[in-house]
């Protein structure tokens, strides 16, 4: 196998993604002496890769300016693939080159900050990376997330990538596992003070240094110093102003970027390492400090929660007093300090570039092809339903149900209000008062967190911001196209129209479409589908409005009976056809097995989460013109047309989707077109998340 790796994005001063590129190549050189690797690297960085194995070939690229390099990364690789006969192309820094449709393309996603925290970046940088990430999401054969948090955020923003996304942790450079010389450690203590608190990272807004500086000021320990080491970026001016205004200038050092070979001694010299970042896709400094035997305090969110792996290390990034208290505890309590050091050393040993490389080789060797999904006699995919009660023997039933409910919403990065938890409680009935009391129960305090009225599993703080962002996206999406939704609702033979999928939760991403669930007159289900598809194509909205599921009114019992489908049906958002919708939910009473409190009667409060938009769409559920058209086209003459459409267009669809067994139904009374069926993978991830929560609850 011949693999091309783009290392041209390596910066002059290595950090973040640069560490990833260097570490991955060193790991691949160690574990794979069989496949041929062609590493495309700028002239100035050739020296970094001189020690790679013989099957690694350096292809030197001129030291291009940034605009020229951006163009090179986008358009040059398709020619290099042909020139070097490459079978795999790996872009380790977001960018998918153009023209690689016939090549196995792999793109690494380091984080989703450009979508979750867009205001932290300049308009040009934000636009560029948002565009390139969307392009990679749409076109890459395989995507790699460097942490579970990054993978979760990517799936929440772009649900369509689930089956192409692999989570492979980044590694740790072995230099941090070797104790530095005493003289080097002593030199840093002479330079910065015998006892100092250390931060390492780019000095940008996301690192949340304002909280750290205020907490350090409140610590009020004159013999303790603070070192902020790293490349000065967007936050440096504000940091300097705050240091001056707090009157701590003589106790705060800003040494700038320090070479990699000095970092092990710097970490070892520090009395504590602190990392209060608002969000990290991975967080190399946390791992490096733990490997160096330094007690670590970090934020309780995103990948930092994963890397640290110990609740005592984790702090709310916005809680100044908590940071002050924990720093004081580390500095004054030897037993607590020793516990953090012991855990950190053990945790850091679980990460290596060798492990990363071994998993990456498997990704390179994998071709993005999917075999048919096993099916039962009815053609439905065999998915084992989740047990209603995963066991949390130490907790009362209602707390178990809350954990299950939030664990499922966590898969989509979607925090819930108290009332949403109550309505969507998994496998349990309870009053709203009981749910509110249970949320305050001490048994859940170490597992859940709350922000602005939203509840989520610990580490999901960024999900509140993400939910608000996606709510705004969803609202704008529906407002722009409400005229089209009204046409669909008033289309002949559409008995009930509902929003489904992400848009039903107001959880749409920037590239998402509008999924519809329609219950149709059984005599004209195919006439309805074909006419709507034709109309949408004529107005250029065929890809935006997805007619994913159309049921005949007389046969509206769902065959796929598992938790995922139950959750989807229970959360459909009605646009028209209240009575038909209520009857449909009652016919599918099996939903109660999983969601006994999901209202089986039409719930206006749930529908009105969209405010005036849904009221506007629903204001005229059946127009006079619609009723007239239905009377005309219900005549027996048009039975022939219905049959012809079913045989011709239905046959066409069956031919196009023959390889998608289980996720597609093309039948006389049912049209189900889920070309990207996330059900099996979502249920698998839900089971994994429940197991993880169970371990954390012990």
Q: Compare 161 and 395 and report the one with higher pLDDT.
A: 161
**Which pLDDT band, with edges at 50, 70 and 90, does 234 fall under?**
confident
Q: What is the pLDDT of residue 601?
A: 43
The alpha-helical segments, DSSP class H, found in 43-147 are: 66-75, 77-83, 113-116, 123-139
**Which pLDDT band, with edges at 50, 70 and 90, does 605 fall under?**
very low
**Which pLDDT band, with edges at 50, 70 and 90, does 600 fall under?**
very low
Q: Which residues of the chain does CATH 3.40.50.2000 include?
A: 2-167, 174-348
pLDDT over 80 (residue 22)? yes
pLDDT over 90 (residue 24)? yes
Q: Compare 14 and 56 and report the one with higher pLDDT.
A: 56
500-553 pLDDT tens trace: 888 888 888 887 889 898 988 888 888 888 899 899 989 888 888 888 788 776
Q: Could you give the CA distance from residue 631 to residue 629 in angstroms, rounded to a whole number?
A: 5
Q: Could you give the CA distance from residue 317 to residue 209 in angstroms, rounded to a whole number?
A: 10
Q: What is the pLDDT of residue 596?
A: 84
CATH architecture of 2-167: 3-Layer(aba) Sandwich (3.40)
CA distances from 300 to 229, 440, 565 (A): 22, 19, 32
Number of C-beta neighbours around residue 137 at 10 A: 21
Q: What is the pLDDT of residue 380?
A: 36
255-302 pLDDT tens trace: 998 988 899 999 999 999 999 999 999 999 999 999 999 999 999 988
Q: What is the pLDDT of residue 371?
A: 35
pLDDT over 70 (residue 359)? yes
CATH architecture of 174-348: 3-Layer(aba) Sandwich (3.40)
Q: Which of 553, 682, 414, 150 is nearest to 674 (CA)?
A: 682
pTM of structure: 0.60
Q: What is the pLDDT of residue 65?
A: 82
Q: Compare 599 and 479 and report the one with higher pLDDT.
A: 479
390-407 pLDDT tens trace: 455 556 788 888 888 998
pLDDT over 80 (residue 145)? yes
The residues, any chain, with a CB within 8 Å of residue 686's CB and separated by 6 or more, are: 386, 407, 408, 411, 563, 564
121-134 pLDDT tens trace: 889 999 999 999 99
**Which pLDDT band, with edges at 50, 70 and 90, does 449 fall under?**
confident
Q: What is the pLDDT of residue 614?
A: 46
186-209 pLDDT tens trace: 999 999 999 999 999 989 888 999
The H-or-E segment that residue 667 falls in is strand 664-667
Least confident among 21-35, 39-53, 612-626, 668-682: 612-626
Average pLDDT, integer, range 411-428: 88
pLDDT over 60 (residue 676)? no
pLDDT over 70 (residue 310)? yes
Beta carbons of 550 and 529 less than 8 angstroms apart: yes
Average pLDDT, integer, range 142-148: 94
Structure tokens at 400: 């178990």
DSSP secondary structure letter of residue 619: T
């Amino acid at each position: 196998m011949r693999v091309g790796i783009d290392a041209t994005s390596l910066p002059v001063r290595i950090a973040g993604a640069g560490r990833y590129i260097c570490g991955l190549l060193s790991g691949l050189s160690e574990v794979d002496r069989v496949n041929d690797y062609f590493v495309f690297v700028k002239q100035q960085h050739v020296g970094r890769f001189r020690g790679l194995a013989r099957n690694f070939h350096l292809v030197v690229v001129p030291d291009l300016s940034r605009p020229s390099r951006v163009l090179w990364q986008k358009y040059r690789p398709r020619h290099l693939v042909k020139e070097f006969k490459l079978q795999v192309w790996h872009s380790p820094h977001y960018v998918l080159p153009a023209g690689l449709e016939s090549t196995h393309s792999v793109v690494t996603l380091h984080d989703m900050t450009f979508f979750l925290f867009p205001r932290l970046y300049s308009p040009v940088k934000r636009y560029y990376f948002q565009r390139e990430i969307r392009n990679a999401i749409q076109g890459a054969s395989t995507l790699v997330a460097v942490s579970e948090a990054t993978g979760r955020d990517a799936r929440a923003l772009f649900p369509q990538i689930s089956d192409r996304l692999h989570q492979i942790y980044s590694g740790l450079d072995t230099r941090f596992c070797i104790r530095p010389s005493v003289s080097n450690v002593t030199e840093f203590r002479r330079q910065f003070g015998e006892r100092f608190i250390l931060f390492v990272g780019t000095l940008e807004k996301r690192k949340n240094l304002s909280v750290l500086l205020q907490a350090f000021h409140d610590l009020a320990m004159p013999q303790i110093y603070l070192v902020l080491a790293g490349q000065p970026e967007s936050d440096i001016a504000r940091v300097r102003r705050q240091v001056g205004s707090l009157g701590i200038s003589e106790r705060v050092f800003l040494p700038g970027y320090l070479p990699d070979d000095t970092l092990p001694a710097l970490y070892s010299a520090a009395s504590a390492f602190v990392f209060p970042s608002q969000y990290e896709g991975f967080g190399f400094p946390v791992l490096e400090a733990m490997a160096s035997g330094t007690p670590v305090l970090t934020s309780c969110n995103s990948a930092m929660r994963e890397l640290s792996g110990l609740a005592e290390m984790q702090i709310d990034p916005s809680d100044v007093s908590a940071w002050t208290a924990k720093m004081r505890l580390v500095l004054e309590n030897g037993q607590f300090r020793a516990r953090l050091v012991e855990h950190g050393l053990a945790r850091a040993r679980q990460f290596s570039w060798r492990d990363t490389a071994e998993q990456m080789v498997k990704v390179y060797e994998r071709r993005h092809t999917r075999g048919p999904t096993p099916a039962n006699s009815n053609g439905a995919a065999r998915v084992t339903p989740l047990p209603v009660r995963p066991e949390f023997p130490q907790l009362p039933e209602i707390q178990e149900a809350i954990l299950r409910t939030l664990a499922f919403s966590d898969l989509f990065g979607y925090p819930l209000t108290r009332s949403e938890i109550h309505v969507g409680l998994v496998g349990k009935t309870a009053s709203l008062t009981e749910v509110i009391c249970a949320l305050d129960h001490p048994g859940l305090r170490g597992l859940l967190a709350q922000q602005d009225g939203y509840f989520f599993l610990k580490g999901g703080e960024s999900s509140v911001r993400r939910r608000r962002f996606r709510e705004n996206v969803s609202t704008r999406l529906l407002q722009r196209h409400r005229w089209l939704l009204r046409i669909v609702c008033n289309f002949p033979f559409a008995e009930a129209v509902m929003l489904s999928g992400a848009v039903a939760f107001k959880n749409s991403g920037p590239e998402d479409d509008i999924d519809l669930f329609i219950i149709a007159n059984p005599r004209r289900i195919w006439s309805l589908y074909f006419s709507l598809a034709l109309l949408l194509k004529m107005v250029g909205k065929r890809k935006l409005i997805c007619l994913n599921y159309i049921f005949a009114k007389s046969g509206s019992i769902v065959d796929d009976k598992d938790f995922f489908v139950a959750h989807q049906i229970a959360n459909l958002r009605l646009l028209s056809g209240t009575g038909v919708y209520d009857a449909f939910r009652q016919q599918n009473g099996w939903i109660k097995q999983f969601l006994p409190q999901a209202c089986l009667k039409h719930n206006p409060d749930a529908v009105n989460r969209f405010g005036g938009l849904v009221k506007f769409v629903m204001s005229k559920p059946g127009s006079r013109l619609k009723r007239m058209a239905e009377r005309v086209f219900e005549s027996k003459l048009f039975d022939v047309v219905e049959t012809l459409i079913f045989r011709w267009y239905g046959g066409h669809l069956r031919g196009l989707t023959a390889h998608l067994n289980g996720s597609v139904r093309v039948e006389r009374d049912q049209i189900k077109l889920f070309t990207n069926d996330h059900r099996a993978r979502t249920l698998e991830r839900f089971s994994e998340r429940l197991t993880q929560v169970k371990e954390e609850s012990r």
